[in-house]
Amino acid sequence: MKKIFLLLFFYTCLLYAQRDSLVMNTLGSARTLMESGKHQEAHQQFRMLFSMKKIIPNEAAYWYGVNLFHLTKNAASKAAFKKYLKISGDTGLHFIKTQEYLAKLDCKETGYKEVVITCEICYGDTILVECHHCKGKGLEVCPVCKGNGVVSSQGAMGRTFHTCSRCQGEKVLSCSVCKGQKKVRDICQSCNGTGRLKVKRKCED
Ligand SMILES: [Zn+2]
Ligand SMILES: [Zn+2]
Ligand SMILES: [Zn+2]
């Protein structure tokens, strides 16, 4: 019984190894054809690879996109690169190259490409902006005397007036939000505090 299990186990391993090598061989031959400029033949290999319904390495989507790029099938190429980004995220081996190809495709399509630049307003840090509470004056109206400088009280001898003890008769106090500094720290509105901006740039050629 144990022997049968072992045999089955080895057989399964062999099957998987064969499947894997079939995938890797097809991908390998597609890449070789592509690198020798035979893009149409490479395309056939890629189609065959994707029709296998097997586990295919993520990078196949990238190479497929590169080949389609050379075949000037721009929309399909873009779709392949987007798919690659979707499955490998921004940690994929070909992440930077993919961005470059997508920029080139944007150039072909619109004459413009999207690039990410550093926000030179904040460099990713918070910035000093005018205090919204006091509109940058650093002062607010005394809430006790409402800006009169004097308060009154009703006593036995009638109403008496005296200097507001809160503002010492100054009518105003230091702004409670900025503490009289006129400015407060806030996140940059241009980049939402990310420190990066996406901008459209005209393509050179
Ligand atoms: Zn910014
Ligand atoms: Zn006051
Ligand atoms: Zn203020």
State whether 77 and 156 are in the same domain: no
**Could you tell me the distance, in angstroms and rounded to a whole number, from the CA of residue 124 to the centre of ligand 3?**
24
State whether 61 and 151 are in the same domain: no
Which ligand ends up closest to the CA of 138?
A: 3
**Could you tell me the distance, in angstroms and rounded to a whole number, from the CA of residue 197 to the centre of ligand 2?**
46
179 within domain boundaries = yes
d(CA 60, CA 124): 36
- DSSP E strand stretches across the chain: 112-118, 127-130, 139-141, 150-155, 158-163, 172-174, 183-186, 196-202
For residue 51, is pLDDT > 60?
yes
Q: Ion ligand 1 — residues with CB under 5 Å?
A: 119, 121-122, 188, 190-191
**Could you tell me the distance, in angstroms and rounded to a whole number, from the CA of residue 178 to the centre of ligand 2?**
19
Whole-model pTM? 0.57
As a dihedral over the C-alpha atoms of residue 167, residue 169, residue 172, residue 175, rounded to 10 degrees, the angle is -20
Q: How far is CA 152 from the centre of its chain?
A: 59
CATH code for the domain in which residue 61 is found: 1.25.40.10
**Could you tell me the distance, in angstroms and rounded to a whole number, from the CA of residue 148 to the centre of ligand 2?**
7
Nearest to 72 by CA among 50, 47, 39: 39
**Could you tell me the distance, in angstroms and rounded to a whole number, from the CA of residue 170 to the centre of ligand 3?**
17
- Rounded mean pLDDT, 61-66: 97
- Structural domain including 40 reads 2-110
54 within domain boundaries = yes
Structure tokens at 69: 């790029």
Summarised one tens digit per residue, pLDDT across range 128-161 is 999 999 999 999 999 999 999 999 988 888 888 9
